[in-house]
Amino acid sequence: MVQIQRDATQYNQLIMIDSPSITDAEFAQFQKLIYKIAGISLADTKKVLLVGRLGRRLKHYDLGTFAEYYRMVSTPGAEEELQTMVDLLTTNETYFFREEKHFEYLSNVILAKHPPGQPFEVWSAASSTGEEIYTICMVLAEKLGVTANWSVTGSDISQSVLAVARRGLYWLDRTRGLPKEYLRKYCLKGVRENEGTFIIAPELRKHTSFLQVNLNTTLPSMSKFNVIFLRNVMIYFDAETKKNVVERLVRQLLPGGYLIIGHSESLNGITNCVKPVMPTIYQLP
């Protein structure tokens, strides 16, 4: 039976019961560690979130304090548990057609002027569980055709959310934002042991590829892209990390390519390499 998740990852629900408390010093250690690994500035207000998400790992290993868990993940050879910790602390909510104005611009402006028959490549650079990737696929299929030469690359620092994205299998209660006609056209309803689920149609999934990428480090060898989505992740970065991440991504844009960020984000003071064409949508000259 295929295993699926009701939320962003199997860890996404916060369980505070029986979790030990965390001292300010212990929390500061985790703040420094997640910043070093992923460039994420974990605000002091996220202490409850950290306790909720990591508390079960302490229980799993029968540890009494967060200091013990910190020593565990900091020990050479603990890379697997360290990745689990990163997965827990970097998973965020996503849904189909989130911030839909971006997809309207993609369809009505960017794709409308794309030369017919030419390849079109998109990178979802913080793709989480895949809803953004498959939303992009639906837009491209509608505008360019299912059989046209286009592709969507999805990346994330979390292996667990990438596993969900690769499967493209979701509970029916995860259809928030997804137009009913697209649900009918591009999704298949689960049957028997998968009743209550839907899976993205194979004719869309064949256009996708996935890889683990830490945006806070040197990027792997990748092609150039017409559009890069980097949405709702920079809000967790400080100014220096934002500059470094954006600089890396802009290098991956084709001339005239677009960088799309989240509605609560801005590139003011971050880079002059791309120019705003609409709020949160930037173009490389």
**Which of 117, 152, 150 is closest to 136 using CA atoms?**
152
The answer to whether the CB of 165 falls within 8 A of the CB of 210 is yes
| 53 in active site | yes
Q: What does the alpha-carbon distance between residue 179 and residue 240 come to, in Å, rounded to a whole number?
A: 39
Choice among 98, 156, 205, 231 that is catalytic: 156
Q: How is 233-264 classified by DSSP, letter by letter?
A: -GGGS-HHHHHHHHHHHHTTEEEEEEEEE-TT
Could you give the residue ranges of the DSSP H alpha helices within the chain? 24-38, 47-60, 66-73, 79-90, 101-105, 131-144, 159-167, 180-186, 202-205, 239-250
| 156 in active site | yes
- pLDDT band of residue 19 (cuts 50, 70, 90) is low
Condensed to tens digits (0 to 9), the pLDDT of residues 36-63 reads: 999 989 999 999 989 999 999 999 999 9
Would you say the C-alpha torsion 11, 13, 19, 25 has a positive or negative sign?
A: positive
pTM: 0.85
Q: What does the alpha-carbon distance between residue 18 and residue 231 come to, in Å, rounded to a whole number?
A: 35
- pLDDT band of residue 194 (cuts 50, 70, 90) is confident
State percent of the chain over pLDDT 70: 93
pLDDT at 259: 98
What domains sit in the chain, N to C, each tagged with a CATH number?
24-90 (1.10.155.10), 101-283 (3.40.50.150)
pLDDT at 107 over 70: yes
Condensed to tens digits (0 to 9), the pLDDT of residues 215-247 reads: 999 999 999 999 999 999 998 899 999 999 999
| Length of the chain (residues) | 285
Strands of the sheet containing 197-200, edge to edge, are 169-171, 197-200, 187-189
